[in-house]
């Protein structure tokens, strides 16, 4: 089997995806895009011609999302693998934004998707994502509360750890999800974390 087919190593097929973009982005931007713009002439449609983004979108849908569809039955049965895959997808999305200026549309993920949009296309996938991250958050809270110096200081050290955990959760969905989906992270993960810490205090 090819290593890009390993479900437990999502970083391998994601890296292949990124390398494919890197190999083809210059010809598309420098050769095909100018020709397409020239063909448009003075048409108002000219401003909508962005073949670089169209190529990335096509690869996301036909490479990444297709691969995730094939492996989802395995992913949903493992919190660790699910979270690891999410981490890799978010990192790749950041690279697309920072390096290639790819702009996804959070309110229409089916039109201009991110890699992570695969998990926002159905209610069941979104629910599974929140469950996986909530499981991680609960374990992290327990670890923080069990540390020997958790309650040291006028403002306990554990307080800073909990705030950092909340920020980490926010970073996973901020500017990536529609308000509807972001609300699920707030109510399903962040509020329970705050409540668990309140009870401990």
Instruction: Give helix 79-100 / helix 65-75 axis angle, nearest 10°.
Output: 160
Average pLDDT over residues 39-44: 78
Band (pLDDT 50/70/90 cuts) for residue 40 is confident
> What's the predicted TM-score (pTM) here?
0.85
- Separation CA 95–CA 18 (nearest Å): 9
**Measuring CA to CA, which residue among 49, 52, 59, 55 is closest to residue 13?**
59
With a cut of 90, say whether residue 140 has pLDDT above it. yes
- Residue whose structure tokens are 């920072």: 98
131, exposed or middle or buried, with CB in 10 Å at 0-12, 13-18, 19+? middle
Per-residue pLDDT tens for 149-159? 899 989 999 99
Q: What is the mean pLDDT of residues 28-46?
A: 83
Distance CA 150, CA 143 (A): 10
The pLDDT assigned to 47 comes to: 60
Burial of residue 165 (CB within 10 Å: 0-12, 13-18, 19+) is: buried
Mean pLDDT, residues 185-192 taken together: 94
Structure confidence at residue 176 (pLDDT): 74
Question: What is the pLDDT at residue 66?
Answer: 94
Task: Write out pLDDT tens, residues 74-129.
Answer: 999 998 899 999 999 999 999 999 999 887 766 566 568 899 999 988 899 999 99
The label of the residue with tokens 């073949």 reads 51
């Amino acid at each position: 089997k090819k290593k890009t087919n390993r479900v437990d190593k999502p970083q391998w097929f994601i890296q292949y995806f990124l390398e494919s973009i890197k190999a083809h982005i210059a010809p598309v931007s420098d050769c095909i895009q100018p020709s397409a713009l020239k063909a448009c002439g003075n048409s108002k449609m000219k401003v909508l011609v962005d073949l670089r983004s169209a190529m990335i979108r096509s690869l996301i849908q036909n490479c990444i999302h297709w691969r995730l569809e094939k492996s989802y039955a395995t992913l949903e049965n493992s919190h660790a693998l699910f979270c690891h895959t999410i981490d890799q997808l978010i990192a790749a999305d950041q690279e697309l934004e920072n390096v290639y200026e790819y702009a996804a549309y959070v309110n229409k993920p089916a039109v201009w998707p991110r890699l992570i949009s695969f998990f926002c296309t159905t209610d069941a996938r979104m629910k599974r994502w929140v469950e996986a991250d909530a499981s991680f958050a609960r374990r992290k809270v327990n670890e923080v509360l069990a540390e020997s110096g958790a309650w040291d200081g006028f403002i306990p050290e554990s307080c800073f750890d909990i705030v950092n955990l909340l920020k980490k959760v926010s970073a996973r969905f901020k500017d990536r999800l529609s308000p509807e989906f972001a609300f699920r992270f707030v109510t399903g993960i962040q509020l329970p974390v705050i409540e668990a810490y309140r009870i401990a205090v």
